[in-house]
Structure 1
Amino acid sequence: MSESVPGCTEVDVLTDVVVVGFGCAGGAAALEARAAGASVVVLERASGAGGSSAQSGGELYLGGGTAVQEALGFEDDAANMLAFLRAALGPHPDEEKLRLYCDGSVEHFDWFRGLGIEFEKSLYDAPSWMPPTTDGLMWLGENAWPYDELARPVPRGHRPATGGFGGWLVMDRLVAACASAGVVTATDTRAVSLVVESGRVVGVRARRFGEDVTYRARRGVVVTTGGFADNPEMLAAHAPDLLGHGVVSDGGDDGSGIVMAQAVGAAVRRMSVVEVAYTALPALACRGMLVNARGERFINEDVYPGLYSHAALHEPGPCWVVVDAQALEEVGEADLWGTVPSYAAETIEELEADLGMPRGALAHTLAGYNAGAADGGDPVFHKSPRWTRVLTGPFAAIDPRIGFHNPTHRAAPGATGFAGFTLGGLHTTVDGSVLSLGGAPIPGLYAAGRASSGMHGQGYISGTSLGDGTFFGRRAGRAAAQSR
């Protein structure tokens, strides 16, 4: 690692552990470090805690036999959870982190309960980005092909008991717990660089209200500043798949913590890995066909919607959700998210022409789809029989580029329908130690959350970001507190 970063000549604040960034990972790290007996200061450049975590849906991917799962009659264990996540987060997830996460999932659920986060003992039993209910459990592709053949299908999407987006509630309880535990938070404080002495990270230089402030950490610094979706230069260098698309963030995911650690010799990992979300409504997609610009299906529409989002990203676009009148009538208004058809036609041939598809292409796709549905299945993509039936006119097509709750019902110029965030970051051990380019831990430096490369390989499932951010944030905070 670099030895050239100057040490502390003046110390404004002395503490045991400094955490940089107060999202879910930072809050978890701070709380765990405090529980281990360390004094803790959290630096947050915004005027309040929360970050992108507070703006998230709040889903937590937990399993292995949680109280909610058991109350609803679902039998689960760590091995079954691991079998699903190994495939869903793959290829090439971090096996050691993944196994630890699955083994510790029930305890982690109980930790959230200890923060005062409640989960209703009810199931939302349909594909969704985020159910319009307060149900405490939801499916996230565990019961869709091919995952239903790789692991016993069990729902694991745990949702805090609040309507709509629940990330604010997770952060509200985490912030309150940190304050109660005696964690000190310095808001409006932007970390600028790490301080290194004799090869060890011993502090952080920051700016606060136009003044330079140095925070000395006797035991360790934990970087939890989020990913780099808001940094076009870093995206161009590492994750160009997100360029030109929307961003899922609070506007502050600029990779600053990653760059700050790289300046002292830190290694990064899986920087090209991203998650994308496509505004193709799961409630409609599962009841119809998701097709590309050539009128072809390319995936089973009842999968976790992030999976068909990744697939659609690499298809010739634009893509369309094609349904019939019955499908539209089956979906309640709350689950439509303000979605309305862009085109409607009595026959599939008319709809095909409206969409500018090759003549006969969409009609051929529908004929094959309906032939399978008439026999009770989907022989090409294996969509569940629950969602597979013969589609009959009139037909409608929904344009995902328009987005949800768009009062104009028209796509904005340049809109793609995709938005995403990054999953790569600093290379860490299971206890959050940041590794150098040579593979050795950098003394005194830890990271968690989207500033680090967590348990994900190439895949993602909702709830695994808040889940692994808090789980490995806790481990990083504990390790930093115990460092000498």
Structure 2
Amino acid sequence: QHQPEGIEYPELPGATCVHKFHDGPTYGYSFTWKRFESFVTERNIPVLYETPGRELIQDGETREIIGVRAEKDGKSVFIKARRGVVLTCGGFENNQEMIRNYLPGVSYCYPSGTPYNEGDGIAMALSVGADLWHMNNFAGPSMALKVPEFPATFSIQALHFAKEYPGGMIIVGPDGGRFYDEKFKHRHGKVPINGVWSPMHVPTPMFMVFDQDMMSAAPLYNKNPNRGWTPIITRYDWSDDNSAELEKGWIKKGETIEDLARTIGLDPAALGATVERWNAQTAAGEDADFGRKLMLSPLAKGPFYAMELSPSMINTQGGPRRNEKARVLRPDGTPIPRLYSAGELGSIYSYLYQGTGNIGECLAFGRIAGRNVAAETAWS
């Protein structure tokens, strides 16, 4: 995609240099990833699966990073670094303690991508004296279904900014009231508030409330494997009529709006008033509260349903601070010897970033880190 198509923040300085490239079919733009994989397999680079890094080994005198302690089947595995260590461990998308401590506006949040980014690289870097930066930046929040049976979120079709779906639907917070245009096209979870791009407000618990027309129209979840952990890796087979998910308890049911409110723990009068106001606004053809333009249909036909939604995100950006040479830095700005990083683990993006920028950053800083660590003198 070339200018101006597909540029997420065209108003930001430097936006005119941005171009997006998608290589391959809709299925995760898979040609790109297959080519990345070939760079590893063609050179016979060993990959140690199910072997998480736990600790950086640091020389007690020189403070150089000389290896890594990992774990395999519950036992420690010690790996010597010939020249240095490059951390490319991803973010902390599925570390709820870090999410509560660092991310603004969310008490919990779950990933739409890999659930195995749990901040391991951050913990390892901290233990050897690294500074942190950009810990409040994340590609979110959006709203999605999260259930205990699966580690990543489910994308709900009716919430897509461009899709029209039969039936009535609103999203309400813990007070039973609406809080936003449910169909607004946010930018990786950021929305304009008083002239500033800010994280979308996601009061929890929040519920998508909908009617029988929507329930019976089509599957609420898009299981087409185009992107995201759940459709591509988990591949949960959502039922065509949503009945299996109703039986599992992922969807709640009430014969009336008031019955539904009691089932999901909301005030029946508050939810009833919200639905009554929404129905009146749809009859008038205008969402006077939040300016929603799509799916202006009343919640008309019972029984009624609700699905609890969770804050969701693609990834985090924070981690150990790095310099232009990809060296990981201490709080005083000096580099930790033989330690480098690349990718979203300590991303260069402090707040907003142009969509697909993380992949470009991985390529750029992966090359910078690789060249610089290869130039280090080997130790024995």
Once the 2 structures are TM-superposed, how far is the Cα of residue 392 of structure 1 from its aligned partner? 1.9
Letter in 2 for 1:388: L
TM value normalised by structure 2:
0.65
1:222 is matched with 86
Give the structure 2 partner of residue 294 of structure 1: 175
User: Which stretches in structure 2 are left out of the alignment for 5+ residues?
Assistant: 146-154, 191-198, 224-237, 376-380
| 1:451 CA displacement | 2.0
Counterpart pick for 1:103 among 17, 23, 30: 17
Q: Secondary structure at the match of 2:82?
A: strand
Kept in 2: contact 1:242–1:419 (CA 8 A): no
| Matched position secondary structure for 1:438 | coil
Paired AA for residue 216 in structure 1: R
- Alpha-carbon separation, structure 1, partners of 2:181 and 2:331: 41
1:179 pairs, out of 16, 37, 41, with 41
Offset at residue 290 of structure 1 (A)? 0.3
Check conservation: 1:320, 1:398, Cα contact below 8 A.
Answer: yes
| Structure 1 residues 350 and 212: alpha-carbon distance in aligned structure 2, compared to 1, 3 A threshold | closer
- Corresponding residue to 2:322 among 414, 428, 436: 428
CA distance in 2, matches of 1:258, 1:353: 43
Counterpart of 2:179 in structure 1: which amino acid? F
Amino acid at match of 2:157: A
1:119 correspondence with 2:51: no
Matching residue of 1:140? none
Query: Matched residue pairs, number?
Result: 319
The DSSP-based 3-state class of the residue aligned with 1:478 is: helix
Quote the residue 1:124 is aligned against: none
Counterpart among 207, 214, 228 of residue 327 in structure 1: 214
Counterpart of 1:372 in structure 2: which amino acid? Q
- Residue 76 of structure 1: how far off its partner (Å): 1.9
Name the Cα RMSD after superposition.
4.3
1:473 aligns with 2:362: yes
C-alpha spacing 1:240/1:297, structure 2 compared with 1 (3 Å): closer
CA distance in 2 between counterparts of 1:350 and 1:234 reads 37
Are 1:82 and 2:21 an aligned pair?
no
Displacement, 1:268? 0.5
CA contact (8 A) 1:64 1:81 kept: no
Alignment of 1:27-176 (within 5 A): 63-65=1-3, 75-76=4-5, 80-83=7-10, 99=14, 103-106=17-20, 109=21, 113=23, 118-120=24-26, 159-160=28-29, 171-176=33-38
Contact conserved, 1:322 with 1:395, CA < 8 A, in 2?
A: no
- Deviation sequence 1:142-194 (CA, Å, 0-9, x none): xxxxxxxxxxxxxxxxx426xxxxxxx765442222222x2623526665325
**CA separation in 2, counterparts of 1:254 and 1:208?**
15
Counterpart of 1:213 (choices 48, 62, 79) is 79
**Secondary structure, counterpart of 2:81 in structure 1:** strand
Read off the aligned partner of 1:428 and give its amino acid letter.
R
The residue correspondences of 1:334-373 to structure 2 (distance < 5 A) are: 335=222, 337-338=238-239, 339=242, 340=246, 341-345=251-255, 347-352=256-261, 355-373=264-282
Query: 2: CA distance between counterparts of 1:391 and 1:233?
Result: 38
Please say if residues 343 and 366 of structure 2, whose CA atoms lie closer than 8 Å, have aligned partners that are also in contact: no
The DSSP-based 3-state class of the residue aligned with 1:399 is strand
Amino acid at match of 2:10: A
Match of residue 447 from structure 1: 341
Q: Deviations 1:9-36 (Å, cap 9, x if unpaired)?
A: xxxxxxxxxxxxxxxxxxxxxxxxxxxx
2:156 is matched with 282
- Given that 1:294 and 1:357 are in contact with CA atoms closer than 8 Å, whether structure 2 keeps it comes out as yes
TM-score using structure 1 length: 0.53
Query: Which structure is higher in helix share?
Result: 1
Kindly indicate whether residue 123 of structure 2 is the aligned counterpart of residue 259 of structure 1: yes
Q: Distance in 1 between matches of 2:348 and 2:185?
A: 20
